[in-house]
Amino acid sequence: MKPIFRSRIKKALALLAQTETPSALVVSGNPGAIRSRDTHYPYRPNSDLYYLTGCTAEEVTLILRPHAKDPVVLLAPPKDPVKSMWDGAPAPVKPLAKSLQAEVITTNEPLKAAINLLRGTSVCYAQSIAGTLSAAIKADLSARGAHELRGLPQSLVDVESLTAQLRMIKDPSEIKAIKEAAAITGDALLYALGMVQSGVREREIAAFIEYFYRAQGAEPAFGTIVASGPSAATLHYRALTRTLKNGELLLIDSGAELNMYASDITRMVPVGGAISSDLRALYEIVLSAQHAAIKKVKPGVVIAEVHKAAATEITRGLKELGILKGSVSELVKKSAFKPFFPHGIGHSLGIDVHDATPTGAIKLAKGMVITIEPGLYLPKAVGRFPACGIRIEDDVLVTSRGHEVLTDETLPKDLNSLLELMAG
Ligand SMILES: [Mn+2]
Gap from CA of 121 to ligand 1 centroid (Å): 39
Residue 263 amino acid letter:
S
Q: Could you say which residues of the chain have pLDDT below 70?
A: 1-2
Residue ranges covered by each domain of the chain: 3-167, 172-423
Give residue 359's pLDDT.
84
Which helix (H) or strand (E) segment holds residue 23: the answer is strand 23-28
For 3-167, CATH number out of 3.40.350.10, 3.40.190.10, 3.10.20.30, 1.20.1050.140 equals 3.40.350.10
Tens-place pLDDT, residues 68-86: 999 999 999 888 899 889 8
Q: What is the pLDDT of residue 392?
A: 98
Name the phi and psi angles at 145, rounded to 5.
-75, 165
Cα 386 to Cα 40, 241, 342: the distances in Å are 42, 19, 18
Pick the CATH number of 172-423 from 3.30.70.1280, 3.90.230.10, 3.40.50.460, 2.40.10.10: 3.90.230.10
| Contact in structure between 114 and 137 (CB atoms under 8 Å) | yes
Q: 8-25 as b/e, with b when 16 or more CB fall inside 10 Å? A: bbeebbebbeebeebbbb
341 CA distance to ligand 1 middle (Å): 14
CA 178–ligand 1 middle distance (angstroms): 14
pLDDT of residue 79: 85
Q: Tell me the percentage of the chain whose pLDDT exceeds 90.
A: 93
- Residue 77: the pLDDT is 87
Give the per-residue pLDDT at 1.
Answer: 52
C-alpha span between 44 and 33 (Å, rounded): 9
322 — phi, psi (to 5°)?
Answer: 80, 10
User: Distance, CA 392 to ligand 1 centroid (Å)?
Assistant: 10
C-alpha–C-alpha distance, residues 60 and 89, integer Å: 13
pLDDT (tens digit, 9 = 90+) per residue, 34-61? 999 999 999 999 999 999 999 999 999 9
Short-list 248, 244, 236, CA closest to 347: 236
- 250 C-alpha vs ligand 1 centroid, how far in Å? 17
> Could you report the per-residue pLDDT of 380-419, keeping only the tens digit for each?
999 999 999 999 999 999 999 999 999 999 999 999 999 9
